[in-house]
Structure 1
Amino acid sequence: MLHIRIFLFCFFSLNVFSYVPVAKTPAPSRKVILQLTVEAAKNLRQSKYDKSLSTARVALQYAIDRNDDYLIAKSYNTIAANYEELAEVDKAIFYYKKGLFHADKTDNDTIKNSLNNNLGNAYCFGLNNMDEGLSYYKKSLNYSYKISDTIGIYITKVNITWAYFYKDKFNEGKPYLDFITKHQNEYHGNGTILAVNMLNGMFFTRKLEFDKAESFFIKAIKSGKEAGDKSDLPYAYEEYAKLLKKKGDFKKAYENLVLYNLVKKELEDVDKLNRANVVGVNIELDEYKRKVDAIESEKNLQSISIQKSRIIVALFVIALTVVLLLLYSVYKNYKFKKEKNEELTIANNDLSAAKEKAEEASYLKSQFVSTISHELRTPLYGVIGITNMLLEEHKELVNSPHLGSLKFSARYLLSLVNDVLQINKIEENRIILESLTFNVADEINMIKNSLSFIAKSHNNSIALTIDPAIPEYLIGDKLRFSQILINLVSNALKFTQDGVVNINATLIKVEDRIHFVEFSIKDTGVGIAEEDQEKIFDTFVQIGRKEIDYQGTGLGLSIVKRLLTLFNSTISLKSKLGQGATFTFTIAFDWDPIKTKKLINNIEVDLSEAQVFRVLVIDDNSINQIVTRKIIEKNNFACRVVDSGFLALKILENEEFDIVLMDINMPVMNGFETTRRIRKNGIITPIIALTAFDKEEVLEEALSAGMNDVIIKPFASELLVRTMNQLIFKETEIPVS
């Protein structure tokens, strides 16, 4: 199958070359670039992937300099075909789609035909996605018929036949098999003779006409040996062995499987060598991809700037007129305002008094929410931890509905506490967006995976569509973006049964380095009545959807709307009862290629060892002591527990530990003061604060006291272990206060 797909790519490349007129201009001329693409295709056919990629990269650079969409598409086609043969299917599809994007800007149907055919191959045989692959094959056939390309029609139908048989859909593939068998003699020289004979053998094997099938397999194997290229020969041996097994000739079947393995091993050894040669070229191509994106962005920016300059002139005239009108209005109202000044002064004094009372009430509310959240998180840490311990120590209780209900209720209560705290922080304007470099596609995929349990419970599926034009890495507040997406997707899953939730990300415009990405979450659920669509974004509001009872606090969409305000964005909703709902919003992300390069080069190294580390736990809550000790000892750490800061100071005078876990809210001497005294004694052991307070409330004081990090209870055991390992192995000097 690899040989047929290489041949198909090279056929289309040469065929496209014959359709394009050559410009006689100085080097690098269009003729030179076209010759480079033909050379790259030739190297690909000879499995010289490193040379093929290098040549295609040069051709792509020249094509972009000329702003020639056809040459850009052709170069991307070659690059993608190389990655497909190296089994890097995702990269191949990415570059095929890049090429198709530029091909659609041209009038050349042959290059469109080639790219659609290659995408069909990648989806059918690379990703095993039959439906997507067939859609591209059908587009390829339409272009072949349009330009009367009979060889292209024949080759695409060979692919479709193979794809159907590959999925065991022989009835669907039979009409295509009849066509290629009928026209085989007309195109016997195009390298498909082995494939056509093998496909006939597979068909007659399925019909239990073993003699006919065997004759076709023998012809296929013979033609593969005579051709000298063994790329497709293993598949003929494999299918022939299946036939012999059905006939009961197990000895001969075994012999053919041995031949299959020998040829396959020979081909794989060659492939490994080619992969080693292409490693360096991969890095250059990735860097060049980013350069291409920058050039395309600059082009769009120049176009937008021209339009803006015209608008600015018009706005200047309008603004000047408005200013003159305002000056006249100010003059006319001057006397009126003077008379009202005294009334306003009195009103301002009243407002100031009211403002002070409101601020005092707001502060008290904030303190109340913070205290309540702390008091709830502390026992919840114990409840969740003890529940996990019971499930780990008593395997017979894994399926217990009572423990399952207890664990669910505790996590549900924790989610409610976090939502209330989030609303309070937004209302107090205590959230400041961060600027971190992250992979948007990876973040969306992680959210999809984390919500899979909700999808399964409602028998739903989640589909992703991410625009390939979106850069791999963007800069923004990753945490707030994830909160928005998680709330919307989980909400869609809860109100959908036996359906699909679609997550779409589309790049809608680029201004300088700012990339505006539009996200839409569409479900096939129960929908929302038009009169209720404004209410659902209010705090603690839940709209009853028919007679179905849904759990929730009514905070999710309110949090989404308020977080989007921080991004200077809004959210829109389209929905009808019984027809699902679609939520849409746009976020502007920054893009910095220098930061992206540093992030890619910063590879995290696994520092874990077999060494047992000693951990000192300081916590006055006995239940929390049990839970924390269990987590630590389960991960092969040695643990010592004390219930006060005074005992901790005494122990640290005589014993050494690798890390200290410090509770903050302790009687007599809290965690901050204990840490200050530890640092004053010259002890530089890493200290992690384990607290039920919100991280933003205590982080600044924790760091100033000498703590290294803060983890909020309840927490995932993986987070604690990972943070401990990072601090133990991190060679950092802690200043002594």
Structure 2
Amino acid sequence: MPHYRFCFFIFIFLNIFCHELSAQANTVSLAKVKDLTQKACDYLDETNYEKSLQKSGMALQYAFDLKNDTLISRNYNIIAINFHDLGEVDKAVFFYNKALAYAERSNIVSLRMMITSNLGNLFFFEKKLYGTGITYYKESLKFGKQQKYLKEIAITNLNIVWSYFKIENYKEGLPYLRYINKHQNDLEGKSNDIALNFLNGMYWANENNAVKANEYFLKAISVGESKDEKTDLIYAYLEYSKFLNKIGKSEEAYKNLLSYSKIRDELTDKEKLKRASIAGFNRELDEYKREIDKIENEKIEQYRSLKKSRIIVVLFVIISLIFLLLIITLIKNIRLKKKANIELLQAKEIAEEASLLKTQFISTISHELRTPLYGVVGITNMLLEEHKELSQSQHLSSLKFSARYLLSLVNDILQINKIEENRVILENLTFNISDEIIMIKNSLSFLSQKNNNKIKIDIDPCIPEYLIGDKLRLAQILMNLVSNALKFTKDGEVEIIVKLNKVEEKKYFLEFHIIDNGVGIAVVDQSKIFEKFVQVGRKEEDYQGTGLGLSIVKRLLGLFGSTINLESDIGAGTSFSFVIPFEHDPQKTRKIIDEIEVDLTSSEVYKILIVEDNLINQLVTKKIIEKNNYVCEVVDDGFKALEILEKENFDLILMDINMPLMNGFETTKRIRLQDIKTPIVALTAFDKDEITDEAISAGINDIIVKPFEPVKLFKIISYLIKETKNVG
């Protein structure tokens, strides 16, 4: 009976499919897919699995090109039936689920009915998971009722009864048995009468009605012996034997058990011959499944790339139009600046709307800018290192400065977005406040010299030597405030003052003051300067900047639970102040210091594999690696990485994430499936927080965001390689 029902649903599929094919649009490419799918059906009906899989694979690829969910679902279903009939149960489940997913998208009820029924058969007869089989049968029954497929509904009810009776849940199975008994004329298959009779026999045996049970069992056996199909007959003999043994007729029970064993052995021998005939073909099934996966991955990646390209183009057009509108608006405002206040207000609203759209646009493409910036910075460094005579070139210096300035802008925008989306988590690091502030002073020495300013530092001696807190966020706050003060001060002084405000147990509250004697900020503008993209003071001089620094400062202080105070007036300088609590715990500090990894250097020559599709980035990364006397190989995509890893061993892999055909996550998963333990570091233009979870899940060991400092890369390489060798 399982084989009969299996073939029966193939027959249903052929009828439904052929009927609906004639209703499709008569285009050349679509007609080709239909023809290939029909041939795959025909070959499957003839049990020519090799040709059926070949045709369905080709049809699937064309269906993806057409983005036709119905055809994709049907070809996945054909592939699943092939694997099902070949005994590759797990692969069949995989492709049935693929087929079901696309059937749900196409919303073809008959298709969903067929696939869920096939899954029910698989879990019931092959996996013996009767509960799961019942779930799928009921789902199929729901779809069948919508379309009023009487014969299919009857067969599905029969399967549900059988499933419930197998787990001895006669109460749940009884309503379905009553339905079949009432609609048994709908059962036209050559073996279903056998199943219906012995299922009735099982029910009455459970009800202890020996007369009715015996009558139904004998009828099932009588019908079965007159038929060529013996699959259901063996179940009739088996269940009848159990019934006879239950009522004490051991001898008759034994005879029926012998009949069961005889037919079972005959069917088993046939199955062995069938398996032997396809054993060689089974070895090719894994490769076929990989090819199907590759087709879908390629098409999905193409869809994503196309969608992303369209979004970027559309956004670029929109922002260009907005910029053009802004220019026109500004020209009109200059010419008509004496017009009524209502016109000025409208222009302001247009500018604010444009600014909002600009922010959204830049947020969308900012991570795309990191990749070319990595190439610009890397190639500039290469030119300066390889051609010392160019070290004084203003052109190269301007190029490097411009790239780093643009990178700073991208980082500022990403920082704002991360804070607003609550994705910034403060860290606990041990640090010395004096060292941090001196480092900030040295970092800004160029800016202070440019405007002939002096930076003065005054730190309260009562502050402990070591504190615990997020020193990186603190440094970012101070860098923004001090650099802002230096920009708006000429021939003056910027003072950094740190006082101990109060102590509560282990919490030391530090009070910071950033004071300058520059141009100052008008009272009317003081409420605006902490907003994004807002700048004041450009009327007389063009101060370089993005208008994001103070906005970032305000939001970072909010993470510390603090606020910022401002005192300023035009021509009288500016003073910013805020209070941040830090922890002072000598034991905890010592523990943190002990756990800090020292700079790991090695004289060993490591072999590195670079997986990167961008030619410029390949060149830059390879140059950085070889500069450290490492050996490296470069491949363009994930498939080539898998190929080279089969032949060669590497100490570490540098993996790009956004690659065509197969991205870095999928490549890493496949590497790990091959039981390759080589450390993998993601080199990516994505923000680290956006991909950390997926990277860990894929098996990536660490992440470095482009552009990066080579020293940081080599520390991570050395640490991961040594850690892997120690574990091994």
What TM-score results when the alignment is normalised by the length of structure 1? 0.48
Question: Which of structures 1 and 2 has the bigger CA Rg?
Answer: 2
What TM-score results when the alignment is normalised by the length of structure 2? 0.49
